Structure 1
Amino acid sequence: MLSRFVISGCLLMGCAGVVSAQSAPVQDTTFADWPAGDSPQEVGKQLAEHFVTSPHQYTKTIHYSEICAWYGALTFAQLTHDDALREKLTKKFEPLMPGGAEAERRPERHHVDDSIFGVVPLEIAVQTKDAKFLKEGVWWADRQWESPQSDGLSGETRYWIDDMYMLTMLQLEAYRATGDKKYLDRDAKEMVSYLDKLQQTNGLFYHAPDVKYFWGRGDGWVAAGMAEMLRSLPENHPDRARILKGYRLMMSALLQYQGKDGMWRELIDHDEAWPESSSSAMFSFAMITGVKHGWLDAKTYGPAARRGWIAVVGYVDQNNDVTQVCEGTGKKDDLAYYLARKRRTGDFHGQAPVMWAADALIRDDMH
């Protein structure tokens, strides 16, 4: 990776503000004094601006990984008070609104991978209070529950671990945008159901009940989803303790599998698997968030989170493309299938979580 220049004044740790009694800000320099070029302000800015000009990837309709990158870039704009960046990101989305010039790219399936599209208009609404984006985002969130299962879960429930971010994030953003507790309750119920069904005794998650492999990015979605939810779930919510227990169990497992290079492997528990950037960024995001909020012991997890961030930044190339990103991966109960997954550069699956991790390092309010 080419050398970067450190931006002066960017070494603030960003831990002021506590939302719940159990949150405890970190007061040391674990998340400051970065090596040259590794500051989250610089890396986040470069990746967010790169996203603005990036073409759509994968499918004719907007792919979920692009939405995740959009969310990361929008969050960066908010945290750094970068109104110009927010405006560019909003203008990039406007053609995708109903009747817009790119409306044919709007996804249509009743499927978690399509429904997450609503996250972007909801995040824009959170930041701008623009009613048209709020209406658009809420429509997607309500559609996801228009035909619930008999147990009250979304009809899109399928028990793939990816959903622990993909499905829950839309409802979480609807709660953040509206303050309506029904979205939060839906979310928590869904997360608890997935935890009860999919988490293994070692704390990790198989890709699916019938695929007994700990695929890195799949577990990354879980880690990121729980961390995001715990940020917004009130301390007195009846499902919080269960989700926090599952989160801590997972973080403890991940600590054991982090490589000496700071990375996690494409198959978490296989040393022969290659270091994979998207999962490593997701796990770093989850640990950074936990340390900052006091859910994790800072002395134990802070150094691991720091090593993870520095290692991941090393996989960002001179074009601000994240390298060594595992290609999109369906479930298959076959070790060779996972070990042979291709490595991609600039894939939104990797761009997104590096921005999330930068956001977590910068975030100075715990809400």
Structure 2
Amino acid sequence: MKKYHLFFLLIVSAGFCLGQSKKNDADLKQWPKGASPLEVGQRVAARFIATPHPNFGRPTPPKTITYPEVCTWYGALTFAKESKDKKLRDQLVQRFEPFWTTEASMVPLPDHVDHTVFGSIPLELYMQTKEKKYLDMGLNFADKQWGPPEGPRVKPESHVFHNMGLTWQTRLWIDDMFMITAVQAQAYRATGDKKYIERAAKEMVVYLDSLQRENGLFYHAPDVPFFWGRGDGWMAVGTAELLRSLPENNPHRPRIMEGYKKMMASLLKYQAESGMWRQLIDDPESWPETSSTGMFTFAMITGVKNGWLEKETYGPAARKAWLALISYLDENADIREVCQGTNKKNDRQYYLDRERIKGDMHGQAPVLWCATALLR
């Protein structure tokens, strides 16, 4: 009888430990020293403050602010808000001040998705400072995106999209679903005017219906049948950011949620044992890539935190991904193994041979997004 009781106690104890282990695997609040979102976010944000305006790796400064800097700036601002770091926020405000004077020429024109996303920064600054000059600048970008086609970038199809109630900047590139939805969602958050979030939702449904594959992922382009990590990353972040603010009664919400969940389920399948995702998502011979991993991690954290994804299933994946991602940060808070800027090409080897760079803001931004999402 004593042996039976001992055996029973061992089974119960093992079950309890296993349950505790699974619970810890899904925990998105407790972290090893140096791995907390607060510590990591502070390091990466400080690195951004110290970095001059980047120009896609070129030694010369850019003529206008580039979208990777915008993405990192937005991440640093949201991190400052969630970490209640007023000093960091003030530093980010000061970085913006020259755009009113000596660097005014560096403010991009709202004539392309990669330029219009700039508006998300002044809109965030408005929400944090309540200074109207930021609101006016940000709304100019958001409204010009849906205004009548104008400028040298207008193409015949621009008018077609505009007449459909979409932005004339529509390209049906998956990158757009962060670039477009970011500034429109920010305009909605800043004003409460539903027209902005409704624009973004309608646009997202068109992209999902046009581009999402049966497995939930997205080709880099219709004529390029490869699931490039960062390309899909833009869609993952874009859907999560949009759903975060999209009203529950919006008629497009079920379709967007369906597309988001379908993508997350596929990403769960392709996550490597290390916790990373690869340069080509479904290619086991492809190398682990940090910008896409950061983007997918953000999307999963956001889903778990908002109850869209099952914590028991996606919590461990998100935790493992975060810990894997930050292991690629060096002593300067520069992240390595970031795929260089990449055009489309119907050639697998082209993607495998892309340069792997360090400290590029395509990679820095998602780390800050993840840190923010973990603190929310």
TM-score of the pair, normalised by structure 1:
0.89
How far apart in 2 are the matches of 1:326 and 1:57? 16
How far the C-alpha of 1:104 sits from its partner, in A, is 1.8
Letter matched to residue 345 of structure 1 = K
Which residue pairs with 2:122 in the alignment? 121
How far the C-alpha of 1:84 sits from its partner, in A, is 1.0
Aligned pair partner of 2:71 in 68, 73, 78: 68
Which residue pairs with 1:34 in the alignment? 31
Task: Output one character per residue of 1:236-281: Cα deviation in whole Å (capped at 9) or x when no partner.
Answer: 1111000000000000000000000000000101111110000001
Change (3 A) 1:278 1:28: closer
Letter matched to residue 95 of structure 1 = P
How far apart in 2 are the matches of 1:362 and 1:109? 32
How far apart in 1 are the matches of 2:237 and 2:99? 26
- Gapped runs of 5+ residues in structure 1? 1-25
Aligned pair partner of 1:234 in 244, 247, 261: 247
Which residue pairs with 2:290 in the alignment? 277
Which residue pairs with 2:20 in the alignment? none
How far apart in 2 are the matches of 1:255 and 1:79? 27
Change (3 A) 1:27 1:188: farther
Aligned pair partner of 1:80 in 71, 76, 83: 83
How far apart in 2 are the matches of 1:179 and 1:27? 38
Change (3 A) 1:229 1:27: farther
How far the C-alpha of 1:46 sits from its partner, in A, is 0.9
Structure of higher CA gyration radius = 2
Higher helix share: 2
Which residue pairs with 2:44 in the alignment? 47
How far apart in 2 are the matches of 1:202 and 1:341? 25
Letter matched to residue 107 of structure 1 = P
Q: Confirm whether residue 304 of structure 1 aligns to residue 332 of structure 2.
A: no
Task: Describe how 1:95-106 pairs up with structure 2 within 5 A.
Answer: 95-97=98-100, 100-106=101-107
Asked if the contact 1:159–1:209 (Cα under 8 Å) also holds between the matched residues in 2, the reply is no
Which residue pairs with 1:18 in the alignment? none
Aligned pair partner of 2:333 in 312, 320, 344: 320
Task: Output one character per residue of 1:96-115: Cα deviation in whole Å (capped at 9) or x when no partner.
Answer: 23xx2111212226110011
Aligned pair partner of 2:256 in 243, 255, 258: 243
How far the C-alpha of 1:179 sits from its partner, in A, is 0.7
- Gapped runs of 5+ residues in structure 2? 1-22, 56-61, 149-160
How far the C-alpha of 1:36 sits from its partner, in A, is 2.2
Asked if the contact 1:76–1:359 (Cα under 8 Å) also holds between the matched residues in 2, the reply is yes
Which residue pairs with 1:56 in the alignment? 53
Task: Output one character per residue of 1:43-98: Cα deviation in whole Å (capped at 9) or x when no partner.
Answer: 0011111111111111321110100000000001111111111011011011123x
Task: Describe how 1:151-190 pairs up with structure 2 within 5 A.
Answer: 151-190=164-203
Asked if the contact 2:26–2:312 (Cα under 8 Å) also holds between the matched residues in 1, the reply is no
Instruction: Look up the SS of the partner of 1:154 in the other structure.
Output: coil
Asked if the contact 2:110–2:141 (Cα under 8 Å) also holds between the matched residues in 1, the reply is no
Runs of 4+ in 1 over 3 A off after TM superposition: 26-29
How far the C-alpha of 1:32 sits from its partner, in A, is 2.5
Q: Which has the higher contact order (CA 8 A, sep 6+)?
A: 1
TM-score of the pair, normalised by structure 2:
0.87
Change (3 A) 1:184 1:113: same
Change (3 A) 1:28 1:335: closer
Letter matched to residue 43 of structure 1 = V
Aligned length: 336
Change (3 A) 1:127 1:260: same
How far apart in 2 are the matches of 1:227 and 1:101? 36
How far the C-alpha of 1:150 sits from its partner, in A, is 1.2
Which residue pairs with 1:354 in the alignment? 367
How far apart in 1 are the matches of 2:373 and 2:145? 28
